[in-house]
Structure 1
């Protein structure tokens, strides 16, 4: 089974062989992210200590086994290995085989020159990285800060650029797009304000639920003409299957919880309102209690406004479970927003969809290899169960 191979002790032998083929020696490794899709494959990112001829460095390594279509395609920096049964591709950042623009994003001199930002000291940092799926690189060049979004191989970047243009021109506070490349790179300006997640930790002023609704109300009607994405709550059965695969003792419960969500939402029309598609506190920047920035509009398209609202509530509950310093304020914010959001629509549907979102987020502790992830997963499922319990 690819999950056992890439997360168990044998993974070290695969990583050591790949590092050795590149001239290094593996000193230590630990999984950081696990993306396990039953019947489709497993991808894992590792933090590793590697001794190179020039010294010891901390590296991000990746490994992937794809049960649906075989190992990753050949690409620079990719090592193909096998334990005799399973074919695995192993790489060292930035040579992710499905993110061909990542290496260029981390060495952006040519790109900066094309944007008129040449001749300045440049530093880069990986802000987020989901192996084989996406990455965001922050670029600082003097007083200029840009974010380079790297999409997966084969993704059409121009429509995402057009989304940013559409929303920016409508007055939605999204980053201005500076352009894109055919290999999956989108250049974005930075946003003002502070991320809401950091504000929750730092005891700063939090925007009201009405302020969040106001920003969503600025979405132009043309967003409803974009491609439709399946709402997160309606993917609950898929996420339940993933949880059951890695935590079988909770399998019956999580499948039953997902079934309750699906039954409760049966017959709901897909909706044609313009929506963000993945709204949560990590996508909002704030200043003085106002929402001044909105990130990640990749999923913008037609749907139901309640999908955005339930996503925001589900993520606040997950944040409270995962980050004790934020817990009290995250839950207080969720309660306040729930009142505002419930007044704007169907409270029962909001609760059901929030439960569905939280089932999806219950995969997070295992995916990020959190300490004692089984207990953290159970805590998420307990919260789902509480949401679905009859209210007096």
Structure 2
């Protein structure tokens, strides 16, 4: 597969034009841009590219603030919000929390409006304190809410998604799957969720231990997903997007383009011989989505991606994330390495080992875009490390899945 041409939209939102773009939004509002840096890049070659920024803005003498802004460039005019255009490309700019595709976000970010939301749900609103847990421009945000008597989470989605996500939470709660209980939702894209018990698995792995008495619990948790999940709309597995992510890697780091595109081609060829599958799957199953308590699984997060698929999709997602944690200098590296060594033989008994490694290669390739998206200081080195790790998973799959975790990870730590 040839490397894609350079994307002018990516260059526009990350290069010397950025001050002009931000000034076009700030000047009419009375603000002056003092400094800026890229916070996050969501590059989608041939589609929209979205970049968020941390900007230092002067609003008046003595009033300087650090604020989050975002901009999207595409070939079609957005329906809402401030738009700057040269006639061919349309750039939309906004200040957090006024995301044009997440209309509920602003209400989730101010104590007064969150208090009104809690009252509407019959919950006491006293002493509301808020913390932004995550924000992906145009996609979603999570806000932690702590009051004098309780702790809960507000998840903000595009309005068209929220009813369906609420329904999924209720289906799994009725089935006894330990997901956050939905406390209610609103038409503007807000869903309020109760907290889970336990500790995030990634945090637990930072002790250097595997954090689970029996890794078969991971498979058992997925096998508890109710059969009706298989009737939901199908979402393509992470591994099937390998070509897209290879294109993103090639655009961000051209020297890795050929390798990434070759890995994507081989993953696609290997998956072409396998059916899509109709098992109920989580769709984004990895350590950050799992909670553990007393050596057992206690919770499962982010069920927006539920749908039919192959069990190997979910298990490969977990394996790929653990392998990246084990090789990228994370605090959980020792625990992730121990978990891979302990868990991989158990996972191999549930699915075809060769398929597991093939899909892990595709998921790892998708994770190789993460350091650039987050604008890590060493993103070039981290990207190459993950691309090489994807190569090793691919090689392990090609050998019939005989290689264990140590062989896949050696020389990459």
- TM-fit CA distance, 1:117: 2.5
- TM-fit CA distance, 1:203: 4.2
Moved more, 316-325 or 234-243: 316-325
Alignment of 1:205-354 (within 5 A): 206-207=211-212, 208-354=214-360
Alignment of 1:1-392 (within 5 A): 1-53=8-60, 55-67=63-75, 69-70=76-77, 72-75=78-81, 79-82=82-85, 86-107=89-110, 108-153=114-159, 155-203=160-208, 206-207=211-212, 208-389=214-395, 390=399
Partner SS, residue 37 of structure 1: coil
- Report if aligned partners of 2:232, 2:308 keep a CA contact under 8 Å in 1: yes
- Report if aligned partners of 1:156, 1:182 keep a CA contact under 8 Å in 2: no
Whole-angstrom distance in 2 between the partners of 1:109 and 1:9: 42
Whole-angstrom distance in 1 between the partners of 2:27 and 2:338: 51
- TM-fit CA distance, 1:337: 1.8
Residues 92-145 of structure 1 show CA distances to partners (whole Å, capped at 9, x for unaligned) of 100111111101111312211111224401111111111111111111122211
Moved more, 306-315 or 103-112: 103-112
Residues 50-109 of structure 1 show CA distances to partners (whole Å, capped at 9, x for unaligned) of 233473322111111113x23x3223xxx3234676431111100111111101111312
> Structure 1: 5+ residue runs without aligned partners?
none
Task: Return closer, same or farther for 1:63/1:217 CA change in 2, 3 Å cut-off.
Answer: same
Aligned length: 386
TM-score w.r.t. the length of structure 2 is 0.89
> Structure 2: 5+ residue runs without aligned partners?
1-7, 404-413
TM-score w.r.t. the length of structure 1 is 0.93
- Report if aligned partners of 2:210, 2:338 keep a CA contact under 8 Å in 1: no
Moved more, 8-17 or 119-128: 8-17
Task: Return closer, same or farther for 1:297/1:166 CA change in 2, 3 Å cut-off.
Answer: same
Residues 161-218 of structure 1 show CA distances to partners (whole Å, capped at 9, x for unaligned) of 1111111111110000111112211111111111111122244661242121121122
Alpha-carbon RMSD across the aligned residues, in angstroms, is: 1.8
- Report if aligned partners of 2:156, 2:190 keep a CA contact under 8 Å in 1: yes
Whole-angstrom distance in 2 between the partners of 1:324 and 1:211: 25
